[in-house]
Amino acid sequence: MTSSSSKSLFSKSLSAAPDRLHLAAHSHHLWPDASFAGQVEAWDDAARLADRKWDRIMGEVWPEAQRHVADELGTGNPGAVVFAGNTHDLLIRLAAACPRRGGQALRVLTTEGEFHSARRQLARWEESGEAVVTRLTVTDDLPAQMIAAAADHDLLFVSQLMFGTGTLVDVAGIAAVGRADGPWVVVDGYHSFMGIEQPFGGTLGETAFFFGGGYKYAMAGEGCSFMHCPPGFGPRPPITGWYAEFDELDLAPGQVGYAPDAMRFMGATFDASGLYRFNAARRMLDDEGLTTAKISAQVAQLQARLVEVIAATALGEATLLNPIDGRPHARFLAWRSPRAAAWQADLATQDCITDVRGDVLRIGIGLYHDERDIDSFALLAKTLT
């Protein structure tokens, strides 16, 4: 499939704002038409089945979504996947269950490049004395540093792909140090899930947790975050909703039961529409023969073209933090410049959507872009100063 033909899969989103040039697929990925069908399916099930809709959600929709996640991660273990409305919710449950081997405060080893959902919560726990947090600078030897310091910490939290710079971290060695009695390792796949082919394959899922969700490249929108859980880690999470014993509702009064699989980390009643959208988007990709590898290859071609056509503009003089090198790459390009915020604002006045993180301008390319979009951006880039 050519890049131009992929636009038809997003006809509703593109036609809703035909003059917009949306180059922030890494920030808020446009929704494909299939997700609309998934949303309608969720509503229709609620109307048709009423109380019995949960039988279908937990018996069909949830397991299908688990299979899609496990297939995409490369773990082959759908039962290790649990969903929630957002990864912050999952972080709270995980941190409460994490063994504290050094006392009451949770000893956390993380990086200076984590996304806000973890960054803010860890900072607040640090402020209140509930956590002692060590933050490492993201350098080439980050994995070696984390592995060396792992034994002195209860929780290691690291993004596989840094949201600010597009730096890809080799997490295999870090994941391997995880143990059920501590330390626990969490790999945040905020920008790697469905952006990098099988980002958690092999045995990584046996010793580490993985966070991801539908908001980015899974193109399912919000409400569809997940955690892939290693077996035996945290069998009885202290923060728990009644869905964690969904299969054991006949327990005697006073007993707190837990599912043996990832459902042990489950919360309570939730909005399932995100799962419907996710499943619909995945079916669309399967029908079109579009794998993560194929989409990434398409994006890489457009990224190379973008770097070429803006070379003679002011943007071309900025520092590209994640150059294209033929290896697995972020779906966005990150340019550092003191003019980044001004450029983002100037582009927004021309209905070109990018985003900025501090002094870094990020431009994200997705399945709904083609060569014409890149050439259109090149004309706008020439107006930047």
pLDDT digits (tens, 9 = 90+) for 335-354: 999 999 999 999 999 999 99
341, 381, 346: which is closest to 357 by C-alpha? 341
Task: Tell me the CATH class for 36-284.
Answer: alpha beta
Give, rounded to a whole angstrom, the gap between the first and last alpha carbons of the chain.
Answer: 37
CATH topology of domain 4-30+291-381: Aspartate Aminotransferase, domain 1 (3.90.1150)
Output the pTM of the full model.
Answer: 0.95
Q: Could you state, in order of their start, the residue ranges of all structural domains in the chain?
A: 4-30+291-381, 36-284
pLDDT at position 4 is: 47
CA distance 220 to 218: 6
CA distance 280 to 37: 7
pLDDT at position 103 is: 80
Residues of the chain with pLDDT under 50: 1-4
> If you compute the radius of gyration of the chain from its CA atoms, what whole number of angstroms results?
21
* Cβ-based neighbours of 305, under 8 Å, separated by 6 or more: 371, 374
CA distance 315 to 336: 9
pLDDT at position 102 is: 81
pLDDT at position 248 is: 57
Does residue 226 contact residue 94 with C-beta atoms inside 8 Å? Answer: no
